[in-house]
Amino acid sequence: MKRDYLLFILFALLVYAVPTFFKGGYLLNVLVFMGINTMLAVALNLLLGFAGQISLGHASFFGLGAYCSGILTATYGFNPWLTMVIAAAGVGLLAFGLGFPILKLKGHYLAMATLGFGIIVYIVLNETVALTGGPSGLSGIPNLKIGTLLFDGDLKNYYLIWTFALVTMLLSINLAHSRIGRALRAIHDSEVASRVMGVNARLLKVQIFSLSAVISAVAGGLYAHTMSFISPASFGFNFSVELVTMVVIGGLGSIFGSFLGAALLTILPELLRVVQDYDIVVYGLLLIVMTMYMPKGLAGGVAACWRLLRSKKVKAVENAQG
Amino acid sequence: MDLLPQLTQYAFSGLSTGAIYALIGLGFAIIYNSTGIINFAQGEFVMLGGVLTHFFLMVLKFPLVVSMAVAILVATAIGVAFERLTIRPLKRPTPLSMVIITIGGSIFIRGVAMLIWGKDTHSLPPFSGNEPLVIAGATVMPQHLWIFGLTLLVIAANKYFFYYTISGKAMRACSYNRTAASLVGIDVRRMVFLSFAISSAMGAMAGIIIAPLTMTAYDVGVMLGLKGFCAAIIGGMSSGFGTVLGGLLLGLLESLGAGLISSGYKDAIAFIILLLILFIRPQGLFSKAQTERV
Amino acid sequence: MKRFVFSCSLFVLILTCSALCGASQPIKIGALFSVTGPPSFLGEPERNAAQMVADSINKSGGIKGRQVQLISYDTGGDATKAVQLANRLIKDDKVVAIIGPSTTGETMAVMPVVEKAGVPLISCAAGRKITEPVNRWVFKTAQNDNLAVAKIYEYLQKKKLNRVALLTVSDGFGSSGREQLKAQAATHGISVLYDETYGPKDTDMTAQLTKIRGTQAQALICWGTNPGPAVVARNAKQLGLKMPLFMSHGVSSKKFIELAGDAAEGVMLPSGKVIVADVLPDSDPQKKWLMAFVKEYQKLHKVEGDHFGGHAWDAMMLLKGALEKGDDLPATIAANLEKSRAFHGIGGSFTYTPVDHAGLAKDAFVLVEVKNRDWVLVK
């Protein structure tokens, strides 16, 4: 437990130090999106890794958050901070209402239902042209602002978004170590057993589903205000699948794993640009190979490497002494 | 305007699209039943069927029947290779890692198809004529009859295979309880292998038979796979009539939604009804509720 | 002494060399096309055409003696990626101008980036809002949708067909067309009786067409890109729909005829002149370039050049024109682009002014019809 917090502090320091190494190159811009993806992956991990409930429609909460915030600011001139709160509350309520019937489902039925919800949201975003601008998107969304500080450059956005991402991570680490975290893991292992032990499994699942949706909606708001343009294509089925991939590749139930997964899937397409048209093939291949040979995800892989290194070091020391 | 002829047309359109979904959905169900895997790459075999046939027919100038046969063979070989290389080596497969692996597989297959055959859409000639048939005031294409016929044939063959042959019975045994099946001497691995062979062949067949109507390209697999997945889910993942009814229902909902309410929202309408069905019957429309094993 | 002379001459040699090298540093031009993803039918020919122009400029000695280096990235049709890559082109590759992206959505997403950095962008997308209102840095070469819509409506007016049904695809291309079709209907005395959309991956439109058959519409206008419109044409034939069928310039390539087969016969659509280049009168100022473009593209890529590739071709040529007029500072390029006058390209005759960054007039489009599996001009 202490180790997690220590790791977190080190990680936070590293995150805040990183921009000093990039002199405003485009990589900084990629890192901004990595922050948003980290938030989303951590949020989904709460549901997928801790409570063991799959969602193939999480991009829809991200999209609803982005559009709610985007429409209220760009069309109705609200304050961006206020709209982000409204968006988060609205999406949270929606998820709470939806959670009760949808989380009654299990396994692939749950996958299907969340997928269906995602597609419904995607279609509504596309079809309500008067409100959302339809497939050609919504532009003119203002940047966020604190006093006179306008978040309009990559560097400023980097600090803004990573602060949110770090808060999300800290919150999730806290949650994992709390009574709720233990109850969630119990549900993951056996829902019936946890009920017998007096855990209100149903309510808890719905609450964690809503929390996950709220974080995604906040990430959506941040995305809308940094991009200042959004279109439904960014919130479709493909992105939902990509989010699940981030969590699984990173390592189920590991907060830092979610970061690793998000980081890898954000950077990978950039690295694969070297192979040009072959990128999609390499990407698919990597997904397969990594899932096959790293069943515990990147987090598990890193931990294993660490142990291996340590045992070697111990051996080396022993050899030297012996 | 009188509504009746319109309604019959909607019904026919819906049923013919639904038959396509059903055919694809059956492939999902077969793999799921013998392995517990939802094969998200299933749609890609549908794509392979169409694209390969086009390649053999138009580029290598094989006759139609030969092209179809070779296409099915190649697609089956790819399906089997996919199972051998990715599913079998896994030591402890979890449902989620299977989802990611099959998604990875589908991306990979799509990517390779794009590199080899390009991004263009292609069309195949219809099997028998291009003149629409008029039935009760509604029109259907001869190709639709092929689809209906093939779906029926596939159900019959499935029924025979799963209930009257040793391999089929063994595969059913695996779907009920893998451990018990292996205890009575069934080679579970062979059954998994077999189920991949059957479902990729069926997917390819579906892809070939629909290509003259819907056309084919490297990226058609995603949407068709998704719809087939829905059909299988509504049908409760049965490898028989359940999935077929699921597919037909999905097709009907879409067509009626498009005709009577709004075509932009037709998928949304279909999915809302699906969600409602799932909320009321969480175990699927056509399957009995099971008690949970603890 | 000898050594001194030798080292002196060596020094001079190095100096001249480096000076020469400095002068012939390549001009870096960025390109963003969605070579993969749903709009790849746009992005692929666009990238090919842009590269083709860059190569031919370099072969003929470059622009004012300097080679052109085209740095092109694939956006996959994704607005987020387009923004990241625009940043990469500007900040890391230090390009002087960007051509692309392929779609209106991506262009709208990239606009704030180029505006902040002050780098000219020549978009290859058709959306009207890219250049209205005019943004100092943003130009476009694809013909505005409203010109295509006007072409169809004028024909309908001439034929006294004033009730239409609309069926548009639910993506950026379709929704932009739909907006124009509805906006211009009233001014042409046309009433829209049916207005629905279909999904880009839909495989059956008989339900929509059955409903249209039940209305009083006299013509059907379908706005989409392959393969949707081909499905519409086939289903219309299956249902025995009698009304004339109009398509958009989104399907003006031989591919549509190949996909729709017999059902394509009689379909009419507004198109850039490139698909009927060979039957244009010799007096047409565009003809020379059109023929050259089609032939050269065919030689390199085995298929006939289409007007999507033409958008990128025009963008490169306009950029070349602007670079020849002055230095390669982004601001100068933008200012010189505004001085482009009557450039007869593939998409039409371009004249950019400070108040018009689209640069085309209605004559950029011709109305064509499919007859015997080929395009013919509708008089």
Comparing CA positions, the residue from C129, C128, C215 lying closest to residue C167 is C215
Q: In degrees to the nearest 10, what's the CA dihedral of A69, A70, A72, A77?
A: 120
Q: Write the residue in B86, B92, B104 that is nearest to A295 by C-beta.
A: B92
The reported pLDDT for the residue numbered C132 is 84
Q: How far apart are CA C364 and CA C271, in angstroms?
A: 8
**Parent domain of A159:** 2-278
Q: Is A107 left (phi over 0), alpha (psi -120 to 50) or beta?
A: left
C4 confidence band (pLDDT: 50, 70, 90): low
In this complex, is the C-beta atom of A311 within 8 Å of any C-beta atom belonging to chain B? no
Residue with tokens 């072959």: A278
In this complex, is the C-beta atom of C238 within 8 Å of any C-beta atom belonging to chain B? yes
**Residue ranges in C159-286 assigned as alpha helix (H):** 172-185, 206-213, 228-239, 254-260
Q: How far apart are CA C58 and CA C252, in angstroms?
A: 31
Q: How far apart are CA A23 and CA C92, in angstroms?
A: 10
| For residues C21-37, average pLDDT | 82
**pLDDT higher than 70, residue A24:** no
Comparing CA positions, the residue from C73, C62, C72 lying closest to residue C25 is C62
In this complex, is the C-beta atom of C3 within 8 Å of any C-beta atom belonging to chain B? no
Range from A144-153, A195-204, C264-273 carrying the lowest mean pLDDT:
A195-204
Residue type, A199: V
The reported pLDDT for the residue numbered A321 is 65
Structure-block tokens of residue B260 = 């009577």
Give the 3-state secondary structure of residue B122.
strand
Give exposure, A238-272, as e/b (b: 16+ Cβ within 10 Å): ebbbbbbbbbbbbbbbbbbbbbbbbbbbbebbbeb
**pLDDT higher than 50, residue C19:** no
Phi, psi for A242 (deg, rounded to 5)? -60, -40
Phi, psi for C107 (deg, rounded to 5)? -65, -45
Phi, psi for B75 (deg, rounded to 5)? -65, -40
Q: How far apart are CA C211 and CA B263, in angstroms?
A: 10
Q: How far apart are CA A66 and CA A73, in angstroms?
A: 11
**pLDDT higher than 70, residue C177:** yes
| For residues C51-55, average pLDDT | 94
Alpha carbon C82 to its chain centroid, in Å, reads: 17
Mean of all residue pLDDT scores within chain B = 87
The reported pLDDT for the residue numbered C183 is 92
Strands A138-139 and A229-230: antiparallel
Residue with tokens 């591919």: C255
**pLDDT higher than 70, residue B285:** no
The reported pLDDT for the residue numbered C269 is 92
The reported pLDDT for the residue numbered C23 is 52
For residue B291, what are the contacts with CB-CB under 8 A and spacing of at least 6? none
Selected residue with higher pLDDT from A271 and B1: A271
Q: How far apart are CA C230 and CA A298, in angstroms?
A: 46
Give the 3-state secondary structure of residue B294.
coil
Comparing CA positions, the residue from C185, C242, C252 lying closest to residue C219 is C242
Phi, psi for B108 (deg, rounded to 5)? -65, -50
For B223, name the nearest residue in chain A, comparing CA atoms only: A237
Q: How far apart are CA A123 and CA A125, in angstroms?
A: 5
The reported pLDDT for the residue numbered C71 is 93
Alpha carbon B167 to its chain centroid, in Å, reads: 22
Say whether C146-271 and C22-143+287-363 share the same fold. Answer: yes
Residue type, C140: K
Q: Which residues of B touch C250 (CB under 8 A)?
A: none
The reported pLDDT for the residue numbered C192 is 94
CA-to-CA separations, A164 to A39, A159, A167, A221, A222, in angstroms, rounded: 8, 9, 5, 11, 9
Q: How far apart are CA A225 and CA A73, in angstroms?
A: 9
Q: How far apart are CA C113 and CA C102, in angstroms?
A: 16
In this complex, is the C-beta atom of A305 within 8 Å of any C-beta atom belonging to chain C? no
Q: Which residues of A touch C35 (CB under 8 A)?
A: 277
**What is the number of CB-based contacts under 8 A between chain A and chain B?**
120
Q: Write the residue in A106, A241, A285 that is nearest to B103 by C-beta.
A: A241
Q: For chain C, which chains pass the contact test of at least 3 CB pairs under 8 Å?
A: A, B
pLDDT tens column, C271-311: 888 888 888 888 888 888 898 898 889 888 888 888 889 99
B140 confidence band (pLDDT: 50, 70, 90): confident
Strands C27-33 and C97-99: parallel
Nearest-Cα distance to chain A for C87, in Å, is 5
Asked if residue A313 is part of any domain, the answer here is no
Residue type, C64: K
Q: How far apart are CA A178 and CA A182, in angstroms?
A: 7
For C129, name the nearest residue in chain A, comparing CA atoms only: A136
- Report the percentage of chain C scoring pLDDT > 70: 94
Q: How far apart are CA A247 and CA A253, in angstroms?
A: 8
The reported pLDDT for the residue numbered A4 is 85
Q: How far apart are CA A47 and CA A42, in angstroms?
A: 9
Q: Are C57 and C69 in contact (CB under 8 A)?
A: no
Question: Which fold does the domain C146-271 belong to in CATH?
Answer: Rossmann fold (3.40.50)
The reported pLDDT for the residue numbered A322 is 52
The reported pLDDT for the residue numbered C15 is 52
Selected residue with higher pLDDT from B175 and A1: B175
Reported as type and span, the H/E element at residue A214 is helix A201-227
The reported pLDDT for the residue numbered B2 is 66
User: How many CB atoms neighbour CB C41 within 10 A?
Assistant: 23
Cβ <8 Å between A136 and C172: yes
pLDDT tens column, B106-122: 999 999 999 999 888 89
Cβ <8 Å between A231 and C79: yes
Sort A129 into a burial class: Cβ within 10 Å, 0-12 / 13-18 / 19+: middle
Residue type, A158: Y
pLDDT tens column, C210-226: 999 989 999 999 999 88
pLDDT tens column, A210-231: 999 999 999 999 999 998 889 8
Residue extents of the structural domains in chain C = 22-143+287-363, 146-271
In this complex, is the C-beta atom of A228 within 8 Å of any C-beta atom belonging to chain C? yes
In this complex, is the C-beta atom of A131 within 8 Å of any C-beta atom belonging to chain C? no
Cβ <8 Å between A280 and B106: no
Range from A279-283, B85-89, B290-294, C239-243 carrying the lowest mean pLDDT:
B290-294
CA-to-CA separations, A71 to A66, A68, A119, A124, B230, in angstroms, rounded: 8, 5, 20, 14, 32
CA-to-CA separations, C116 to C147, C234, C337, C376, in angstroms, rounded: 30, 47, 19, 46
Reported as type and span, the H/E element at residue C74 is strand C68-74
Q: How far apart are CA C8 and CA C18, in angstroms?
A: 15
The neighbouring-strand residues paired with C121 are C98, C138
Interface mutation target, options A126, A155, A228, A229, chain C, most CBs of C under 10 Å:
A229
Sort B37 into a burial class: Cβ within 10 Å, 0-12 / 13-18 / 19+: buried
The reported pLDDT for the residue numbered B290 is 56
| For residues C70-86, average pLDDT | 88
CATH of the domain at A30: 1.10.3470
Task: Please give the DSSP secondary-structure letter assigned to residue C353.
Answer: B
Number of domains in chain A: 1
Structure-block tokens of residue C139 = 């130009």
Cβ <8 Å between C214 and B6: yes
Q: How far apart are CA B217 and CA B49, in angstroms?
A: 10
- Report the percentage of chain A scoring pLDDT > 70: 98
**pLDDT higher than 90, residue A300:** no
- Report the percentage of chain C scoring pLDDT > 90: 50
In this complex, is the C-beta atom of B10 within 8 Å of any C-beta atom belonging to chain C? yes
Mean of all residue pLDDT scores within chain C = 88
Please state the CATH superfamily assignment of the domain spanning residues C22-143+287-363 in this structure. Response regulator (3.40.50.2300)
Give the 3-state secondary structure of residue B54.
helix
Q: Work out the end-to-end distance of chain C between its first and last CA atoms, rounded to an integer number of angstroms.
A: 84
Structure-block tokens of residue A71 = 């429409």
Residue with tokens 């190095």: C14
pLDDT tens column, A242-281: 999 899 889 888 999 999 999 999 998 888 877 777 878 8
For residue C297, what are the contacts with CB-CB under 8 A and spacing of at least 6? C45, C48, C49, C52, C303, C304, C305, C309
| For residues A82-107, average pLDDT | 94
Comparing CA positions, the residue from C202, A222, A77 lying closest to residue B13 is C202
B134 confidence band (pLDDT: 50, 70, 90): confident
Residue extents of the structural domains in chain B = 22-219
Mean of all residue pLDDT scores within chain A = 89
Please enumerate, as own/partner, the contacts of C298-301 that have beta carbons within 8 Å and a separation of 24 or more. Answer: C300/C48, C300/C52, C301/C45, C301/C48
Q: How far apart are CA A315 and CA A307, in angstroms?
A: 12
Phi, psi for A150 (deg, rounded to 5)? -95, 130
**pLDDT higher than 50, residue B90:** yes
Q: Write the residue in A120, A192, A281 that is nearest to B111 by C-beta.
A: A281
